[in-house]
Amino acid sequence: MYNFLVDILGNEIIVMIITASLPLFLFVIPFALVAVYAERKVSAHMQDRLGPMRVGYHGLLQTVADILKLFQKEDIVTEKADKSLFNIAPFLVFAGSYAAFAALPFSSIFIGTNTDIGLFYIIAISSLVVAGILMAGWASNNKYSLLGAMRSAAQIISYEIPTALVILSLVMFTGTLNLHTMSELQTSSFLNWNILGGSETGIIKIILIPFMLIGCLILFISTLAEVNRTPFDIPEAESELVAGFHTEYSGMKFAMFFLSEYANMFAVSAIITSVFFGGYQSPFGYLGDLAGIDWLVPIEQLFWFSAKGLFFVFVQMWLRWTLPRLRVDQLMTVCWKYLIPYSFVNLIIIGIITLL
Amino acid sequence: MNIYDIIFYLFAGITIISGFLVVSVKNIVHAAFYLLFTLFGIAGLYVLLGADFIAIVQIMVYVGGILILILFGVMLTNKIVDVEIKSESFQVIPAIIFIGILMGGLVFLMVTTNWENNELIIPLTTTKILGNIILTDYILIFELLGILLLIALIGAATIARKDKV
C-alpha cells in the first residue's frame, strides 16, 4: 500500500502524511460518530427506552446534529484558568489516544508503522493521555476537575501494570512485540487464536486455554479501567464530581475529549483483538482465497478487524449500563490485591508452559 | 539537507528550547509540562539514531512514570495548600562559573576526540539483540538493578504502611 502510494505521488513525505492521517479520517471520526449514536441506542434499549428517534431514520443523524451544535457553541475559558495549559490539554489528550492508532494493524496491507515494538509503543504512548488529563484538571482551576484528574491519573497508572503483565505473558508466548507478526501467527482458523492456545497442539493447547482465558479477562478489566469507563468511571463520576477533568470545557474542546474517549475505547478493544482474538484474521477462511480474487482478502481482513473491535466496544457499552460504579478504595483493591497478583501468577504459568 | 536533518533539528530544537524553559519559567507546573516536551524530544532523537526500544523506554519511564509523579507532587502541594510555589534562581554567579567549566570541558572533548565515522547501519530489530545482551553479558548488572528496585519497592511499601498501634 505504501509503495503503491509512493509510485502514484512520487514523494515519500506526502505519502507519509497521507498514511498517517488515513486512520483518522477513514476510521476514528466515522467510528466516533457511530459509537456515540450506538452508545445512546444501547443504553436506551437496555433501559427499555427508545433513545434518539427524531433526527433521521430512528435518530441516525442525531450525532451529526450534535456535532453541528458543538461547532456553533461559544468557546468558554474561565477567567481564573491557566489559559495556555487549558487550551493545549484537549489536543494533548487526543494526540495521545490517536498516536496509538499508528501501530494498529487494520489489515495485512495497512498498518501505520510496522514497527517491531508496536505493543510496547502503544502501552508507552498512552501515558501522554495521563499527562493531558492532569493538565486539563489542573488548568481548569476547579476542585472537581483537579480531583477527577488526580483520580484518573492514579487509576490509569495502577491499571497499566496488570495490562503490561498480561501483554508480557503473551509476548513471551508468541515471541514478538510486533502486532502485525502476532496477527500473522494466529492465521487460518479460530482454533489458532491465542485465546485458544495459539498454534500449539495436543495437550499443551488444552492446558493453556484456562490461563489464556484468565489473561484475557484481566486484560479486558484493566483496559476498561484505563479508558475510564464504567464501572471504573470514578474520574468523571457525574454524581460526585460533575464531569471530572472536563467539567469546565465547552464546545469543540469538550468534543475533543469525547472523541479521544471513543478513540481510546476502540484502541484498547483493538489491542485485545490483536493479542487474543487473531487480529485481522478471519475465523474461518477468506472468500477472496476461495474465489481467487487477491484484492478482496485485505478488505475482508479490515472487516474482521473492525467487527471484532466493535464487538468489544459493544461489550464496554453493555457493561456501562449494567454495572454500578466502584468506590476509589475498591478500585485500588481490585487492581493491587487481585489483578496484579493473578496476572503475575498467570505470567509465570504461561512462561513455564511456553518453555515446555 | 535531507528530511532526516530537518527532523533532527526539529527534535533538537524542541529539546533545547523546552529544556531551557524548564529551568527559567517561574510557574513550577509549567516547568513540569515543559519537561514533557523535553523528554519527548529526546525520545525522538533516539528514534532517529535507530534506538527505537530505548526511545519507547524513555517515554514509558520518564513521561509515564517520573513526570506523572512530579506532576502529582506539584499539584497536590500547589493548589490544595494555598501556598504559591515558585522556582527562583539564586547562586547565579557560581553556577555560571561551574557550568562554564563543565561546558568548556565537554566542548573540548567533543572537538578533540577522534570520532569513529562508520556508515550508518540501523538494525531492523533491536529488541532481540538487547534482550540477549542483557541476559548474557550484563546479567550481573541486570540482577543488581532488579534487587535495587525491589528494595525501593519494599521501602516505599513500609513507609506507606499504617502503624499497627
**B113-153 per-position pLDDT tens digit:** 877 777 666 666 777 888 888 888 889 999 999 999 999 98
| Residue indicated by cell numbers 457553541 | A73
- The answer to whether residue A183 is domain-embedded is yes
Predicted local confidence at residue B86, as pLDDT: 61
Which candidate from B53, B68, B126 shows the least CB-CB separation from A131? B68
What is the distance between the alpha carbons of residues B137 and A301, in angstroms, rounded to a whole number?
Answer: 43
Distance (Å, rounded) from C-alpha A82 to C-alpha B30?
A: 10
| Predicted local distance difference test score (pLDDT) of residue A1 | 59
Q: Does the distance separating the beta carbons of B29 and A124 come in below 8 Å?
A: no
Cα–Cα distance for residue pair A211/A170, rounded to 1 Å: 11
Helix (H) or strand (E) holding A43: helix A29-46
Provide the residue count of chain A: 356
Residue A230 inside a domain? The answer is: yes
**How many CB pairs (< 8 A) connect A and B?**
68
pLDDT of residue B146: 92
- Assess if residue A345 is contained within a domain: yes
All three cell numbers of A306, joined, read 473492525
- Asked whether residue A63 is assigned to any structural domain, the reply reads yes
DSSP state of A74: -
Q: Residue A8 has what pLDDT? A: 66
- Residue A147: inside a domain, yes or no? no
- Shared-domain flag, residues A204 and A349: yes
Q: Is B126 left (phi over 0), alpha (psi -120 to 50) or beta?
A: alpha
How high is the pLDDT of residue A133? 85
Contact B29 A82 (CB under 8 A): yes
Considering CB atoms only, which of B33, B60, B126 is closest to A85? B33
Question: What's B3-125's CATH class?
Answer: mainly alpha
| DSSP-derived secondary structure for A131-146 | HHHHHHHHHTT-HHHH
Q: Tell me whether residue A199 is exposed, middle or buried, using C-beta atoms within 10 angstroms of its C-beta: 0 to 12, 13 to 18, 19 or more.
A: middle
CB pair distance less than 8 Å for B79 and A117: no
Hey, is A299 helix, strand or coil? helix
Query: Is A87 among the domain residues?
Result: no
Cell of A74: 461559544
List the domain boundaries for chain B.
3-125, 126-165
Chain A interface with B: residues with Cβ < 8 Å: 12-13, 82, 84-85, 115-117, 120-121, 123-128, 130-131, 134-135, 138, 141, 146, 150, 153, 157, 160, 177
Q: With an 8 Å Cβ cutoff, are B64 and A124 in contact?
A: yes
The label of the residue with cell 503503491 reads A4
Using alpha carbons, select from A263, A260, A267, A275 the residue that is nearest to residue A309: A267
Closest residue in chain A to residue B76, using alpha carbons only: A150
The gap from C-alpha B131 to its chain's centroid, in whole angstroms, comes to: 22
The pLDDT of residue A275: 85
Question: What digits encode the pLDDT tens for the residues B65-124?
Answer: 888 888 877 777 655 555 555 666 677 888 889 999 999 999 999 888 877 777 666 666
Shortest CA distance from A11: residue in chain B? B3
Query: Angle of helix A127-139 relative to helix A118-125, nearest 10 degrees?
Result: 10
Write out the DSSP string of A208-249: HHHHHHHHHHHHHHHHHHHTT-TTS-GGG-HHHHTTGGGTT-
pLDDT truncated to tens, each residue of chain A (356 aa)?
566 666 666 666 677 777 777 776 777 888 888 888 888 888 888 888 887 778 778 778 888 888 888 888 877 777 777 778 888 888 888 888 888 888 888 877 777 777 778 888 888 888 788 888 888 888 887 778 888 888 888 888 888 888 888 888 888 888 888 888 888 777 777 777 777 777 777 777 788 888 888 888 888 888 888 887 777 777 676 666 777 777 778 778 888 888 888 888 888 888 888 888 887 887 777 777 777 777 777 788 888 888 888 888 888 888 888 888 887 788 888 888 888 899 889 889 888 888 87
Does A62 lie in the same domain as A159? Answer: no
Minimal CA separation from A186 to chain B, in Å: 21
Question: Are the beta carbons of B59 and A124 separated by less than 8 Å?
Answer: yes
Q: Which residues of A touch B63 (CB under 8 A)?
A: 124, 127-128, 131
Q: Count CB neighbours of B76 within 10 A.
A: 12
Could you give the 3-state DSSP secondary structure of residue A30? Answer: helix
Amino acid at A17: I
Average pLDDT value for residue range B20-32? 81
Which of B21, B28, B56 should we substitute to test contact with A (largest number of A Cβ atoms within 10 Å)?
B56
pLDDT of amino acid B33: 84
Predicted pLDDT at B107:
92
Phi, psi of B86 (to 5 degrees): -120, 150
Residue A181 to residue A279: CA distance in whole angstroms: 10
What are the grid coordinates assigned to B38, written together?
523535553
C-alpha cell belonging to residue A85: 495549559
* Cα–Cα dist A276/A200, whole Å: 14
Chain A residue closest to B40 (CA)? A128
Considering only CB atoms, A115 lies closest to which of B52, B57, B72, namely: B52
The mean pLDDT value for B50-73 works out to 83
Question: Model's pTM, two decimal places?
Answer: 0.82
**Of the candidates B40, B45, B44, the residue with the CA atom closest to the CA atom of residue B67:** B40
Sole residue written with cell 509503495: A3
pLDDT at B143: 92
Residue B101: per-residue pLDDT: 93
Looking at the domain assignment, is residue A133 inside a domain? no
Q: Are A161 and A340 in contact (CB under 8 A)?
A: yes
> Same domain for A112 and A30?
no
**Residue A77 forms part of a structural domain:** no
Instruction: Please check whether residues A198 and A330 belong to one and the same domain.
Output: yes
How high is the pLDDT of residue B102? 93
- Domain that includes residue A230, residue range: 100-116+155-241+251-355
Same domain? For A203 and A269 the reply is: yes
Distance CA A279, CA A275 (A): 7
Contact between A146 and B33 using a beta-carbon 8 Å cutoff: no
What is the count of structural domains for chain A?
Answer: 2
Interface mutation target, options A11, A13, A84, A117, chain B, most CBs of B under 10 Å = A117
CB contact under 8 A, B33 and A135: yes
Question: pLDDT for A62-99, tens place per residue?
Answer: 888 888 888 888 777 777 777 788 888 888 888 888 88
Closest Cα in chain B to A133: B68
Distance from CA of A280 to the nearest CA of B (A): 23
Residue B106's pLDDT is 92
